[in-house]
Amino acid sequence: MANPIFAAMSAEKIISEWKKGSFKPVYWLEGDEPYFIDRVVDYAEHKILSEAEAGFNLSVFYGRDADWAAVVNACMRYPMFAERQVVLLKEAQHMKDIDKLESYVDNPLSSTIFVVSYKEKKVDGRSKLAKLLKTKGVVLSTKKMYENQLPEWTTQMIQQHGLTISPKALNLLVDHIGNDLSRIENEIEKLAVNLGARKGITEDDIENYIGISKEFNVFELQDALGKKDLSKAIRIIRYFEANPKAAPIQLILPALYNFFSKVFMIYAMPNADEKSIAAAIGVNPFFGKDYFVAARKYDYAGVEKILLLLHHYNLRSLGVNDGGSSDAGLLKEMVVKMMQ
pLDDT tens digits along 249-282: 998 999 999 999 999 999 988 776 788 888 888 8
In a domain, 28, yes or no: yes
Q: Which residue range(s) make up the domain with 35?
A: 4-142
- What's the pLDDT at 126? 87
- What's the pLDDT at 147? 80
User: What is the average per-residue pLDDT within 148-159?
Assistant: 91
Computed over every residue of the chain, the mean pLDDT equals 91
292 and 335 share one domain: yes
- What's the pLDDT at 178? 84
pTM equals 0.77
- What's the pLDDT at 118? 96
Q: Tens digit of pLDDT for each residue in 180-200?
A: 999 999 999 999 999 999 999
Question: 41 with 115: CB under 8 angstroms?
Answer: yes
Question: 200 with 168: CB under 8 angstroms?
Answer: no
237 and 187 share one domain: no
42 and 163 share one domain: no
- What's the pLDDT at 275? 82
Minimal CA–CA distance to 225: which of 234, 233, 215, 217?
A: 233
Minimal CA–CA distance to 257: which of 221, 212, 227?
A: 221
User: What is the average per-residue pLDDT within 315-319?
Assistant: 93
In a domain, 219, yes or no: no
91 and 107 share one domain: yes
| Domain containing residue 108: CATH number | 3.40.50.300
35 and 118 share one domain: yes
Question: 105 with 132: CB under 8 angstroms?
Answer: yes
- Count the residues in the chain: 340
137 and 153 share one domain: no
Counting Cβ atoms within 10 Å, is residue 71 exposed (0-12), middle (13-18) or buried (19+)?
buried
191 and 234 share one domain: no
Query: What is the number of structural domains in the chain?
Result: 3
Is pLDDT at 330 greater than 90 in this prediction? yes
